[in-house]
Amino acid sequence: MSDTEVERFWHETEARLGERILLYSLGQYLSGYSDVRNGCWGLFFISESALHFQTFPSQNWFSAIFRGLARSRANREAETEMAFALPQASISDVRLQNEQSWWRRLVSPQPPIVDVRYIDEDGKEADLRFSMDMKVKDFVNLLSARIP
């Protein structure tokens, strides 16, 4: 993806949302939102009013070879975009787990896990968990600073 395509994507996303994107990074969704498959990768981004996650349709090389054959459920899900947004007003706490020393990261690299406590659509407390390699501290700091 070229720099121009990346710029166009973020410009279109801001236009669709009607607000600026403050920060974004690639991450892995782990748990906490019922409509998304655990372990999937996608973009996490923070807009002026919400924390967003979005996956993109993809096929690996193996599934592309057998494109004409019957597709498994996992392959159909990989081809389907998934997205959600947690309104900033619903977020009550943000914590960084697995923060490791530089030596530990070198020997046993595990990306930090972010826990976001929020109030779901049913008014119940829920915990969203995700990991990311880049900008994780920036994400935690920005989300924490915006807790109502």
Q: pLDDT value at position 3?
A: 86
Q: Is the pLDDT of residue 122 over 50?
A: yes
pLDDT, tens only, 28-63? 999 998 777 778 889 999 999 999 999 887 655 444
What is the rounded CA–CA span in Å between residue 114 and residue 129?
6
Angle, CA 13 vertex, CA 136 and CA 139 arms, to 5°: 10
**Residue given tokens 């990768």 in the structure block:** 41
Amino acid residing at 40: C
Q: What is the mean pLDDT of the chain?
A: 83
Amino acid residing at 72: S
pLDDT category at 148 given cuts 50, 70, 90 is: confident
Helix (H) or strand (E) run with residue 134 in it: none
pLDDT category at 110 given cuts 50, 70, 90 is: confident
Amino acid residing at 65: I
The fold for domain 24-145 equals: PH-domain like (2.30.29)
pLDDT, tens only, 74-91? 444 445 678 899 999 999
Q: pLDDT value at position 85?
A: 94
In this structure, are strands 113-119 and 125-131 parallel, antiparallel, or unpaired? Answer: antiparallel
What is the rounded CA–CA span in Å between residue 44 and residue 94?
14
pTM, entire model: 0.79
What is the rounded CA–CA span in Å between residue 60 and residue 4?
25
